[in-house]
A and B are shown apart, each in its own frame.
Chain A
Amino acid sequence: MSSPYRSNDTTSGKVPAAREIVRRLIGSRPRKQQRGDTGARAAAAACDSLYRELSRWVGPDGCHALFARALAETRPQYPALEKIQLRARSEPYIEGIADSIMASGDPATAEALESMLVRLVELLGRLIGDDMAGKLIDRTFGDSEQSSGDTREEA
Chain B
Amino acid sequence: MNEAERNPIRSLPSGVPGFDTVVGGGLPEFSFNLIAGGPGSGKTILAHQIMFANATVERPALYFTVLGEPTLKMLRYQRQFKYFDPDLAGSAIHFINLSAEVMDRNLGDVLARIVSETERAKPGIVVVDSFRTIGGQSGSGVPPIELDQFVQRLALHLTTWETTSFLLGEYAVEEQRNPVFTVADGIFWLSQATDRNSVVRKLQVIKTRGRAPMPGLHTFRITDDGLQVFPRIPEHTRLRHEQQRRRLSTGVPGLDEMIGGGVVAGDAVMLTGPAGSGKSTVATQFIAEGLKQGETGVIAVFEEYPEDYLARADARDSEVGDMIRSGKLELIYLRPLDLSVDEALAAILEAVQRLKATRIVIDSLSGFEVALAPTFREDFRESLYRLVGTLTATGVTVFMTAEVPEGFSDAKFTSEKVSFITDEILVQRYVEIEGELLRVMAVIKVRGSDHSHEFRLYEITENGVVVGGPLKEYDGIITGVPTLRSLPSRPKRSK
Contacts and interface: CB of A to CB of B under 8 A. Distances in A.
A127 B86 CA distance: 13
Contact of B90 (A58, A66, A89, A138): A138
25 contacts: A55-B97, A56-B96, A56-B97, A57-B95, A58-B71, A58-B72, A59-B70, A60-B99, A60-B100, A62-B70, A62-B71, A62-B72, A89-B100, A127-B72, A127-B76, A128-B79, A129-B79, A129-B86, A131-B86, A131-B87, A132-B79, A135-B89, A135-B91, A138-B90, A139-B90
A135 B72 contact: no
A138 to B, nearest CB: 7
Interface string A110-141: 00000000000000000111011001101100
Interface of B: 65, 70-72, 75-76, 79, 86-87, 89-91, 94-97, 99-100
Contacts of A20: none
A129 B87 CA distance: 12
Contacts, number: 55
A120 to B, nearest CB: 12
Interface residues of A, number: 19
Contact of A62 (B79, B90, B97): B97
Nearest to A139: B90
A59 B97 contact: yes
B100 A59 contact: yes
B71 A132 contact: no
Interface string A85-102: 000010000000000000
**Centre residue among B71, B94, B95, B100 by max chain A CB count within 10 A:** B71
Nearest to B96: A56
A128 B76 contact: yes
B93 to A, nearest CB: 10
B89 A132 contact: yes
A126 to B, nearest CB: 9
A142 B449 CA distance: 77
A55 B96 CA distance: 8
Nearest to A135: B90
Point out which of A55, A59, A60, A66 has the most chain B C-beta atoms below 10 A from its C-beta.
A59
Contacts of A131: 86-87
A153 interface: no
A61 interface: yes
Interface string A2-40: 000000000000000000000000000000000000000
A58 to B, nearest CB: 4
A30 to B, nearest CB: 23
A144 to B, nearest CB: 16
B57 to A, nearest CB: 13
A61 B65 CA distance: 13
A135 B86 contact: yes
A5 B326 CA distance: 66
B99 A128 contact: no
A35 to B, nearest CB: 34
A3 to B, nearest CB: 30
A74 B213 CA distance: 56
Given A60-B100, A61-B99, A66-B72, 7 more contacts: A57-B71, A59-B71, A61-B70, A128-B72, A129-B86, A135-B86, A139-B90
Contacts of A127: 72, 75-76
B126 to A, nearest CB: 15
Interface string A137-155: 0110000000000000000
Contacts of A139: 90
B363 to A, nearest CB: 43
A127 to B, nearest CB: 5
Nearest to A131: B86
Contacts of B72: 58, 62, 66, 127-128
Contacts of B86: 129, 131-132, 135
A118 B87 CA distance: 22
A19 B79 CA distance: 24
A60 B94 CA distance: 16
A31 B363 CA distance: 74
B79 A57 contact: no
Most chain A CB within a 10 A radius of its CB, from B79, B90, B94: B90
Contacts of A128: 72, 75-76, 79
B134 to A, nearest CB: 14
Contacts of B71: 57-59, 62
Contacts of B96: 56-57
A116 B227 CA distance: 39
Top 9 A-B pairs, shortest CB-CB distance: A59-B97, A135-B90, A58-B71, A59-B99, A128-B75, A131-B86, A57-B95, A132-B86, A58-B72
Nearest to A126: B76
